[in-house]
Amino acid sequence: MLVICADNPELRYIRNTIYTKTISQIALDRDIAAKIEPEYASQFRRPRYMFFAADSIGRHLSATVLAHLDSGLASDINKLVVGDLQITHQNKTGGKPLTYEKTLEMYRPDFSGFLWTTILCLDNKNPAMPKDYHPQACSIIPGVFETIQPDQNREGKIIEYTPKFDEQDLKVKVIDRKIIKSEIDFDSHKTIVSFGRGVKDSPEQNIKLIEQLAAELDAQIGITLPLSKKPFSVSQTVDSTYLIPDRVIGTSGRKVNPKLYIAVGISGAMQHIAGMKESEIIIAINPDENALIKDECDVFIKGRMEDVIPILIEEIKKQKQVVQA
């Protein structure tokens, strides 16, 4: 394990220009390469791979760093594979089959959330238009890979680095900083009830049903990303209370891990699953028994929410009376 630690007072607060320049300088520094792998330092030009977190900072920073390094970037990646690939491409290889060694295959769900897209960042090996595209880089959705267990027998190495800035880089100053917390508190609730596009048959009434269920369970309410785009015509109160970005659970929103997660009318797109799969118990309510959410839940209730939720509410009320008695 090796860590490069950049030290400069200008790095105290996040400013994209400063952070972009720091990372880019480190990526191109031959002296650092010599400290990491002395044997290959003379051949070093730039890293083979770079990875960023696909969060609010990483998505922005990865784009500007790779633009600065003049290479490509894949966003919101779920899976990585490194291997040798034989590629035939009119522009990249001049139409001839060529082998690309140690190529990073970057997988991400498409916009439907159900199909995989493979993204490659390949050099132009065509003699008519040669150009290197390195590093091969991507932003990775937090939580998609299992955490590696610490190995106490390994020793890490820290390399100190001092970045260099000019006056143009320092035009933007951070005078003060305040942390704005989300208005929606998922962390203090043991139960979360989320809903998706399955409310479409009668959105206003169905959302109110979900609201009643959440109230009985003292649960917070979440939504899938498409609901934050306000696809349905509902009252202003429902719209401003529930169809808002702060309630989104998934790769484009929050990651949650309550004791009980109830997914109502949610099909099971990978982007949403990534945000709730660590919940202790997952219950799904869906009329489609082939919905992908079925493979992710502990209990699957096949039925329309309009029929199922009133029964659940009634049973919860009965159980509460029994406990209170």
CATH number at residue 21: 3.40.50.620
Q: Is residue 179 part of a domain?
A: no
Q: Cis (ω within 30 of 0) for the bond into 135?
A: yes
Structural contact between residues 232 and 223, judged by C-beta atoms closer than 8 angstroms? no
Q: Are residues 196 and 271 in the same domain?
A: yes
Tell which of 136, 170, 204 closes a domain.
170
Instruction: Collect all residues with Cβ–Cβ distance below 8 Å to 101 and sequence separation of at least 6.
Output: 84
Of all residues in the chain, what percent are helix, strand and coil, respectively (each to 5)? 35, 25, 40
Q: Are residues 138 and 260 in the same domain?
A: no
Q: Is residue 90 part of a domain?
A: no
What are the backbone angles phi and psi of residue 276, rounded to the nearest 5°? -135, 0
How many Cβ atoms are within 10 Å of 155's Cβ, its own excluded?
A: 7
Q: Are residues 67 and 146 in the same domain?
A: yes
Q: Are residues 160 and 24 in the same domain?
A: yes
Instruction: Collect all residues with Cβ–Cβ distance below 8 Å to 152 and sequence separation of at least 6.
Output: none
Q: Are residues 158 and 199 in the same domain?
A: no
Q: Are residues 241 and 319 in the same domain?
A: yes
What are the backbone angles phi and psi of residue 42, rounded to the nearest 5°? -65, -25
Q: Are residues 153 and 236 in the same domain?
A: no
Instruction: Collect all residues with Cβ–Cβ distance below 8 Å to 237 and sequence separation of at least 6.
Output: none
Using alpha carbons, list the distances in angstroms from residue 219 to 154, 216, 225, 240.
44, 8, 19, 19
Q: Are residues 6 and 147 in the same domain?
A: yes
Q: Is residue 176 part of a domain?
A: no
Structure-token pair, residue 249: 């659970």
Tell which of 107, 138, 170 closes a domain.
170
The DSSP line for 83-95 is: EEEEEE-TTTTTT
Q: Is residue 102 part of a domain?
A: no
Q: Is residue 121 part of a domain?
A: no
Structure-token pair, residue 312: 């659940």
Predicted local confidence at residue 125, as pLDDT: 93
Q: Is residue 100 part of a domain?
A: no
Q: Are residues 160 and 223 in the same domain?
A: no
- Per-residue pLDDT in tens (0 to 9) along the chain, 325 residues: 789 999 999 999 899 999 999 999 999 999 999 988 888 888 899 999 999 998 889 999 999 999 999 999 999 888 999 999 999 999 999 999 999 999 999 998 776 666 788 999 999 999 999 999 999 999 998 777 877 888 888 888 899 999 999 999 999 888 888 877 778 999 899 999 999 999 999 999 999 999 999 999 999 999 999 999 999 999 999 999 999 999 999 888 888 999 999 999 999 988 899 899 999 999 999 999 999 999 999 999 999 999 999 999 999 999 988 887 6
How many Cβ atoms are within 10 Å of 43's Cβ, its own excluded?
A: 8
Predicted local confidence at residue 2, as pLDDT: 85
Q: Is residue 110 part of a domain?
A: no
Q: Are residues 163 and 249 in the same domain?
A: no
Q: Is residue 200 part of a domain?
A: yes
Domain residue limits at 44 = 2-78+127-170
Q: Are residues 138 and 239 in the same domain?
A: no
Q: Are residues 212 and 166 in the same domain?
A: no
